[in-house]
């Protein structure tokens, strides 16, 4: 990937994450990147191809998060710091969740959730000392994830909000057990 392609992808990724697919306007992205519209078409055949590049970029970002999660020992503060650091990635996943009626979005969401979720569930179960089956943990995680996507927004993904969110989730999970 060239530096210019990366500029386009970074701008598109952040725009999609915070404002959704309808905000992906080439003119606006050109202003943000300081590049011409023809530069966009030089690097990407069309907006559909660009979206596929964004989805691929997201899966790479998910792998990075999962790798960091492998080294985390607990939810607070380690996992919370990872999530706060990857705010844009979480918001991108949220947009995929809202628009999962589109097959490519749904597929990417499922892959991303699997990549990130597998590590998360392990930390969560260990940290909370839950005595639930793997299937119960996964089901609880799915419910928690939907709730998470409904609540997050660009303003509230902070260490403080995440700490309060996971404390509440801990109380709910203990009751579930």
Q: Which of 22, 2, 1, 25 is nearest to 11 (CA)?
A: 25
HEC sequence for 63-113: HHHHHHHHHCCCHHHHHHHHHHHCHHHHHHHHHHHHCCCCHHHHHHHHHHH
Q: Do the beta carbons of residue 78 and residue 72 sit within 8 Å?
A: yes
Q: Do the beta carbons of residue 48 and residue 66 sit within 8 Å?
A: no
So where are the chain's domains?
Answer: 3-176
Please state, in angstroms and rounded to a whole number, the distance separating the CA atoms of residues 94 and 90.
6
Give pLDDT, residue 123: 85
Chain centre distance of CA 167: 21
Give pLDDT, residue 175: 78
Angle (CA) 39 107 133, round 5°: 140
Question: What is the radius of gyration, based on Cα positions, of the chain?
Answer: 18
Q: Do the beta carbons of residue 96 and residue 59 sit within 8 Å?
A: no
Q: What is the pLDDT along the chain (177 residues), one digit of tens a residue?
A: 899 999 999 999 999 999 999 999 999 999 999 999 999 999 998 999 999 999 999 999 999 999 999 999 999 999 999 999 999 999 999 999 999 999 999 999 999 999 998 888 888 878 878 777 878 878 888 888 899 999 999 999 999 999 999 999 888 877 766
Give pLDDT, residue 177: 65
Chain centre distance of CA 8: 19
Please state, in angstroms and rounded to a whole number, the distance separating the CA atoms of residues 13 and 52.
11
- Name the architecture of domain 3-176: Orthogonal Bundle (1.10)
Q: Do the beta carbons of residue 54 and residue 12 sit within 8 Å?
A: yes
- Determine if the pTM surpasses 0.85: yes
């Amino acid at each position: 990937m060239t530096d210019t392609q990366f500029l386009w992808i970074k701008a598109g990724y952040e725009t999609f994450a915070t404002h959704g697919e309808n905000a992906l306007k080439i003119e606006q992205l050109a202003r943000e990147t300081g590049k011409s519209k023809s530069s966009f078409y030089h690097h990407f055949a069309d907006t559909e191809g660009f979206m596929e590049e964004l989805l691929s970029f997201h899966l790479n970002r998910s792998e990075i998060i999962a790798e960091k999660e492998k080294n985390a020992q607990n939810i607070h503060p380690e996992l919370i710091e990872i999530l706060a650091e990857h705010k844009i990635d979480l918001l991108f996943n949220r947009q995929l969740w809202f628009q999962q009626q589109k097959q490519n979005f749904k597929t990417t969401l499922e892959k991303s959730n699997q990549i990130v979720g597998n590590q998360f569930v392990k930390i969560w179960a260990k940290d909370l000392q839950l005595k639930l089956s793997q299937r119960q943990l996964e089901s609880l995680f799915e419910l928690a994830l939907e709730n998470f996507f409904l609540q997050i927004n660009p303003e509230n993904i902070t260490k403080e909000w995440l700490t309060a969110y996971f404390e509440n989730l801990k109380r709910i999970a203990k009751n579930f057990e």
